[in-house]
């Protein structure tokens, strides 16, 4: 049986295997349900995020003004809160959306972009995390800074390794009852008790605008399908990174990678997942 994962990174976390069949099933559920994902995200990646959700089979909605964000979060299938360019109006909209999503039981994902050295977004990230997101996704430096054990990276780029962030990720997961995903060469996903490593992917994904931020939206789409949140986040990461591998094989560089990645996401199916899933 092929699997996407599997070794624990600390004595506190139990080793976990997520079968490739479960990932394939989750992908099928997303395609069948076409979840409506509200994205309160940054201006740099909004277009890429919308296109990636469409390629996956989800429906993006960039509703991020205070007067509408809370109302929409109550009817959306899932919500992404990405702190990449948190101007004042969007910050207010994020708080409205989070309150509404929490009341409605709508899954939501927090992406604490560039937290640490930047005070406005760092304070906001900690306030929103206290509202107990379904999942938190970031690079190693962002996760460590949110946990209070690091100063953040170089802007949006990590200066810490995924291994270094493992204990911080587990602690965050236990503290807020969230699934925490640390993106890197090998992605780490934990709920504080179980830890999963997703070993698929390609470095070219880091050369595409929105390559990291859009993953948070994809996780929201997979969470909307229901079931075990850990499995949903692992499945989102696996599908996304397998599509990156496929796109890298079909492209010559960053310019051709982005459209190839959209094509790969649109074309990936259960058979493709099973063929490329890795045993840790």
1 belongs to a structural domain: no
3 belongs to a structural domain: no
pLDDT tens per residue, range 130-161: 999 999 999 999 999 999 886 555 555 556 68
Q: What range defines the domain where residue 160 resides?
A: 14-276
pLDDT score for 159: 64
Q: What is the mean pLDDT of residues 241-246?
A: 96
Q: What is the mean pLDDT of residues 2-26?
A: 67
pLDDT score for 5: 52
Helix (H, G, I), strand (E, B) or coil at 167: helix
**Dihedral sign for Cα atoms in the order 204, 208, 212, 216:** negative
State phi, psi for 94 to the nearest 5 degrees: -60, -45
What burial class does residue 49 get, using C-beta atoms within 10 Å of its C-beta: 0-12 exposed, 13-18 middle, 19+ buried?
A: buried
Report whether 110 contacts 220 (CB < 8 A).
no
- Polymer length of the chain: 280
pLDDT score for 247: 97
Does 210 show up as a binding residue in the annotation?
yes
Query: Which range, of 10-14, 128-132, 205-209, 213-217, averages the lowest pLDDT?
Result: 10-14
43 belongs to a structural domain: yes
Does 274 show up as a binding residue in the annotation?
no
- Residue showing tokens 């409506």: 36
What burial class does residue 214 get, using C-beta atoms within 10 Å of its C-beta: 0-12 exposed, 13-18 middle, 19+ buried?
A: buried
Report whether 201 contacts 17 (CB < 8 A).
no
What does the mean pLDDT of the chain come to? Answer: 91
Query: Which range, of 11-25, 30-44, 252-266, averages the lowest pLDDT?
Result: 11-25
pLDDT tens per residue, range 93-119: 999 999 999 999 999 999 999 898 789
pLDDT tens per residue, range 54-103: 999 999 999 999 999 999 999 999 999 999 999 999 999 999 999 999 99
Query: Which range, of 154-158, 204-208, 226-230, 270-274, averages the lowest pLDDT?
Result: 154-158
pLDDT score for 116: 86
Q: What is the CATH number of the domain that holds 97?
A: 3.40.1190.20
6 belongs to a structural domain: no
- Number of structural domains found in the chain: 1
- The two beta strands, 187-190 and 179-183, are antiparallel
Helix (H, G, I), strand (E, B) or coil at 78: strand
Q: What is the mean pLDDT of residues 12-23?
A: 76
CA distances from 103 to 35, 111, 121, 135 (A): 19, 20, 24, 16
2 belongs to a structural domain: no
Does residue 10 surpass a pLDDT of 60? no
Does 256 show up as a binding residue in the annotation?
no
107 belongs to a structural domain: yes
Percentage with pLDDT > 90 across the chain: 83
Does 250 show up as a binding residue in the annotation?
no
5 belongs to a structural domain: no
Report whether 55 contacts 85 (CB < 8 A).
no
Q: How many C-beta neighbours within 10 Å does residue 102 have?
A: 16
- pTM, rounded to two decimals: 0.92
**Dihedral sign for Cα atoms in the order 141, 173, 137, 87:** negative
Does residue 45 surpass a pLDDT of 80? yes
pLDDT score for 3: 55
Q: What is the rounded CA–CA span in Å between residue 45 and residue 3? A: 31
Q: What is the mean pLDDT of residues 33-45?
A: 97
154 belongs to a structural domain: yes
pLDDT tens per residue, range 248-267: 999 999 999 999 999 999 99
Does residue 11 surpass a pLDDT of 60? no
- Residue showing tokens 């962030």: 165
Residue in 140, 238, 150, 214 with CA at minimum distance from that of residue 182: 140
């Amino acid at each position: 049986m092929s699997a996407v994962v599997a070794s624990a990174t600390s004595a506190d976390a139990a080793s976990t295997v997520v079968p490739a069949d479960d990932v394939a099933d989750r992908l099928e559920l997303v395609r069948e349900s076409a979840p409506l994902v509200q994205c309160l995200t940054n201006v740099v990646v909004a277009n890429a995020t919308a296109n990636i959700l469409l390629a996956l089979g989800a429906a993006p909605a960039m509703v991020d003004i205070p007067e509408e964000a809370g109302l929409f979060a109550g009817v959306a299938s899932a919500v992404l809160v990405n702190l990449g360019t948190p101007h004042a109006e969007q910050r207010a909209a994020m708080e409205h959306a989070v309150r509404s999503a929490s009341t409605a039981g709508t899954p939501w994902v927090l992406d604490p972009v560039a937290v640490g050295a930047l005070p406005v977004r760092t304070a906001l990230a900690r306030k929103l995390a206290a509202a107990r997101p379904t999942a938190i996704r970031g690079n190693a430096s962002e996760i460590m800074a949110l946990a209070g054990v690091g100063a953040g990276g170089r802007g949006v780029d990590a200066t810490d390794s995924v291994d270094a962030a493992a204990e911080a990720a587990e602690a965050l997961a236990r503290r807020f009852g969230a699934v925490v995903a640390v993106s890197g060469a090998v992605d780490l996903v934990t709920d504080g008790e179980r830890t999963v490593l997703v070993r698929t992917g390609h470095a070219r994904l880091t050369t595409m605008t929105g390559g990291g931020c859009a993953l948070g939206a994809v996780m929201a789409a997979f969470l909307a399908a229901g079931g075990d949140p850990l499995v949903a986040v692992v499945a989102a990461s696996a599908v996304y990174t397998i599509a990156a591998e496929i796109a890298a094989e079909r492209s010559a560089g960053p310019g051709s990678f982005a459209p190839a990645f959209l094509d790969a996401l649109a074309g990936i199916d259960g058979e493709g997942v099973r063929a490329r899933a890795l045993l840790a």
